[in-house]
Amino acid sequence: MKQVLMKGNEALAEAALRAGCRFYSGYPITPQSEILEYLSWRMDEVGGEFIQTESELSGINMLLGASAAGARVLTSSSGPGYSLNQEGISYLVAADLPAVIVDVMRYGNGLGDVSQSQGDYWQLTRGGGHGDYRTIVLAPSSVQENADFTYEAFELAEKYRHPVLIGSDAAIGQMIEKVSFPEMKDHDIDTYEWSIKGCKKGEVQKKITNTLYYMENYDDYLLNKYQQMEDNEQRWESISVEDAELVLVAYGISSRICKEAVMTAREQGIKLGLIRPITLWPYPVNAFKELGSECKALMTVEMNILGQMKDDVVLAVANKYPVYSYTTVKEVPETETIIEKAKNILSCKEA
Amino acid sequence: MKLKAPESISFAETSFCPGCGHGLVARLIGEVMEEMGMTEKLLTVVDVACASLNIDTWKFDTIMAAHGRPIATATGVKKVRKENPVLAYLGDGAAYAIGISETMYGALRNDNVVVIVINNGVFGMTGGQMAPTSLEGQRTSTTVMGRDVKKTGKPFDITKMIGQLDIAYLARGSVANFKDIAKTKKYIRKAFEKHMNNEGYCLLEILSPCPTNLGMTPVQCAQRVDDAMRDQYPTGEYIDNGGNQ
Ligand SMILES: Cc1ncc(C[n+]2csc(CCOP(=O)(O)OP(=O)(O)O)c2C)c(N)n1
Ligand code: SF4
């Protein structure tokens, strides 16, 4: 298909439709409102349902009903709204229901503000809602990936009967880039044997509720589901890792700066590499097996205060290397600073 | 009166306390579905409170939604399964406390769902705490000296809140005596007829005994619904827009 220029959020919305999503319920919040605005008219064009709800709580719980009825469903939010979505995400997990939920991350705790940030990493990757669960989290770093990952998220949600998250961020949501879309797909709401349709005489009724209530080996079932995801769905991109002395680890918007930093540093004779997690969970621990013998340290580059991803890198390298963080909170990281910090680390000065 | 129970009810699985109103309403819904030929079509969404026990009582395809969210969830179902009747079934705590926003907005949008709220004047499932509908002076586990309306506000009457809205149907019934049960069944049927006619939001509140949490025998508790609850919450039809939407 030909390429068009489009805003990240809108590309995401269009890709959802193309993946066969015909139900959206959600509430406006910057910097994701374009998803909802775009679908408010585009859903009509394709014969789907769009509902601007009174809150994110209502949005996610409405979506749960639509998912149970067999549709491909989407909601999107940011920060404070994503916190409210978590009630329903926990219920979707409990009931084995597929859904795609987008968090276009914004800055700060509480209301925070609307600027870009990567501060919801822990919330996205640790479950977040009540109970103990995990969800696949895809982290796009371009408008094209906003589209591609959304399209794929529906497949993954269906494959595992599980909600799938997209951890996008304000910069990617708001930037305009060229994008080409995957083909339009139809989804039949009668596809699933488990969805509610009406119970015919002699059939066993469908109960969409906590799987725990009727499954004997519930814990094994869930552990196995998560294991399958960890075995099969780790995704990442790596650049010049084999001979790197310092490996950067960054996702989303900051990974783009890191790519530039790797190139610039190499021109200066500094051997940087990059691991870009595409799935924030399952964390791509396999990517770290590619580290070469010259590797001395790693450094996460992320836009939050606490260096949230560092823990996962520490686990992935099993303490074999020191791990540093360069955190920029709401400013996009700078190539020069990355290189500066890399030099300091490699010359054994503190980062 | 029909004595044979509808096939959509499983007595083996039901687990309501003796004398509970939920069980009566569950049966009435089963009877109405049978009479309307919709037993194989009804999709229900129940709350997690005592309403949730219906997931085993009924043989309808059912979702157990989060506490207070069944109406939003039912709207989601109806948007996808337009041909099916869709019922949201919940308690007064769910509908008027934690889920008041979902209850109100379903009405404001005039969502095409049938909502049945069981008003038993307490939070049943969690052990008899005060509900928005508890009566003035009513002793509950969180109002041990009796509900003090200076602290809690007055008992909540849904008809005063959505009674002026452009919805399809608003009524209040009771299952505390034989006559009211028959009337309530008519209301249920009417709500589903309007629903199948795509007229919009139909909310039916049903006064109902909770003997367990009021510490009464089933008969005493039904008597209390008749005597005290009906004064505060008059039964009857409040909005009956008859397709005028
Ligand atoms: C978010 C949340 N808060 C609290 C609860 C605990 N809870 C379960 S049922 C219930 C009250 C139920 O009362 P009501 O809706 O009146 O229904 P009844 O059991 O009386 O039929 C509460 C508070 C919960 N499950 N979820
Ligand atoms: S606690 Fe009350 S409402 Fe719940 S099943 Fe028992 S009698 Fe019914």
DSSP code for A181? P
Alpha carbons B23 and A35: distance in angstroms, whole number:
44
Q: Which residues of chain B are under the pLDDT cut of 50?
A: 243-245
What are the residues whose beta carbons fall under 8 Å from the beta carbon of A74, sequence distance 6 or more? A16, A21, A23, A24, A39, A63, A99, A100, A101, A102
Q: How far is CA A160 from CA A55, A139, A313, in A?
A: 28, 19, 26
What backbone torsions phi and psi does residue A261 show, to the nearest 5 degrees?
Answer: -60, -40
- Which SS3 state, helix, strand or coil, does residue B123 take? strand
Mind giving me the DSSP string for B27-58? Answer: HHHHHHHHHHT-TTT-EEEE-SSGGGGHHHHB
Beta strand A176-179 pairing with A72-77: unpaired
CB–CB of B75 and A62 under 8 A?
Answer: yes
Beta strand B114-119 pairing with B86-91: parallel
Alpha carbons A57 and A82: distance in angstroms, whole number:
9
Buried b / exposed e along A186-200 (16+ C-beta atoms within 10 A): eeebeebeebbbbbe
Task: Confirm or reject: Cβ of B213 under 6 Å from ligand 2.
Answer: yes
Alpha carbons A4 and A16: distance in angstroms, whole number:
17
Q: How far is the CA of B120 from the centre of ligand 1 (A)?
A: 13
Opening angle at CA B191, ends B185 and B196, nearest 5: 125
With contacts defined as CB-CB under 8 Å, which chain B residues touch A84?
none
**Would you say the pTM of this structure is higher than 0.95?**
yes
CA B245 to the chain's CA centroid: 24
Q: How far is the CA of A202 from the centre of ligand 2 (A)?
A: 30
One digit per residue, the tens of pLDDT, for chain A of length 351 reads 689 999 999 999 999 999 999 999 999 999 999 999 999 999 999 999 999 999 999 999 999 999 999 999 999 999 999 999 999 999 999 999 999 999 999 999 999 999 999 999 999 999 999 999 999 999 999 999 999 999 999 999 999 999 999 999 999 999 999 999 999 999 999 999 999 999 999 999 999 999 999 999 999 999 999 999 999 999 999 999 999 999 999 999 999 999 999 999 999 999 999 999 999 999 999 999 999 999 999 999 999 999 999 999 999 999 899 999 999 988 999 999 999 999 999 998 665
Mind giving me the DSSP string for B131-200? Answer: -TTPPTT--BTTBTT---HHHH-SPP-HHHHHTTS--SEEEEEE-SSHHHHHHHHHHHHHHHHHHHTT--
Identify the nearest ligand to the CA of A210 by its number: 1
Alpha carbons B7 and B58: distance in angstroms, whole number:
9
User: What is the per-residue pLDDT for A295?
Assistant: 97
User: What is the per-residue pLDDT for B241?
Assistant: 84
Q: Which atom of ligand 2 is nearest to the CA of B53?
A: 5
- Give, for ligand 2, the residue of B48, B122, B210, B219 to mutate: max count of ligand atoms closer than 8 Å to Cβ: B210
User: What is the per-residue pLDDT for B245?
Assistant: 44
Burial of A293 (0-12, 13-18, 19+ CB in 10 A): exposed
Of A49, A196, A210, the CB nearest to B61: A196
Buried b / exposed e along A141-153 (16+ C-beta atoms within 10 A): bbbbbbbbbbbbb
Task: Confirm or reject: Cβ of B51 under 6 Å from ligand 1.
Answer: yes
Identify the nearest ligand to the CA of B218 by its number: 2
C-alpha dihedral over B94, A65, A119, A319, to 10 degrees? 110
Q: Which atom of ligand 2 is nearest to the CA of B22?
A: 8
User: What is the per-residue pLDDT for B242?
Assistant: 61
- Give, for ligand 2, the residue of B46, B56, B120 to mutate: max count of ligand atoms closer than 8 Å to Cβ: B120
User: What is the per-residue pLDDT for B244?
Assistant: 46
Alpha carbons B22 and B29: distance in angstroms, whole number:
11
Of B55, B84, B102, the CB nearest to A198: B84
Alpha carbons B109 and A67: distance in angstroms, whole number:
21
Q: How far is CA A185 from CA A7, A22, A155, A188, A192, in A?
A: 22, 11, 11, 10, 16
Task: Confirm or reject: Cβ of B181 under 6 Å from ligand 1.
Answer: no
- Check if the beta carbon of residue A171 is closer than 8 Å to that of residue A253: yes
**Residue linked to tokens 């725990």:** A212
The partner residues of A301 in beta bridges, in order of sequence, read A326
Q: Is A68 on the interface with B (CB under 8 A)?
A: yes
Q: Is A57 on the interface with B (CB under 8 A)?
A: yes
User: What is the per-residue pLDDT for A350?
Assistant: 60
Chain A nearest-CA distance from B191, in A, is 19
- Check if the beta carbon of residue B48 is closer than 8 Å to that of residue B82: no
- Check if the beta carbon of residue A233 is closer than 8 Å to that of residue A170: no
Q: Is A88 on the interface with B (CB under 8 A)?
A: yes
With contacts defined as CB-CB under 8 Å, which chain A residues touch B78?
65
- Check if the beta carbon of residue B191 is closer than 8 Å to that of residue B204: yes
If you count them, how many residues does chain B have? Answer: 245
DSSP code for B94? I
CB–CB of A64 and B84 under 8 A?
Answer: no
User: What is the per-residue pLDDT for B1?
Assistant: 54
Mind giving me the DSSP string for A99-114? Answer: EEEEEEEEESSTT-EE
User: What is the per-residue pLDDT for B59?
Assistant: 95
With contacts defined as CB-CB under 8 Å, which chain B residues touch A55?
101
CB–CB of B81 and A205 under 8 A?
Answer: no
Quote the tokens at residue A290.
Answer: 């590619």
Burial of A318 (0-12, 13-18, 19+ CB in 10 A): exposed
Alpha carbons A141 and B235: distance in angstroms, whole number:
59
3-state helix, strand, coil in chain A (%, to 5): 40, 20, 40
Q: Is B96 on the interface with A (CB under 8 A)?
A: no
Alpha carbons A235 and A279: distance in angstroms, whole number:
5
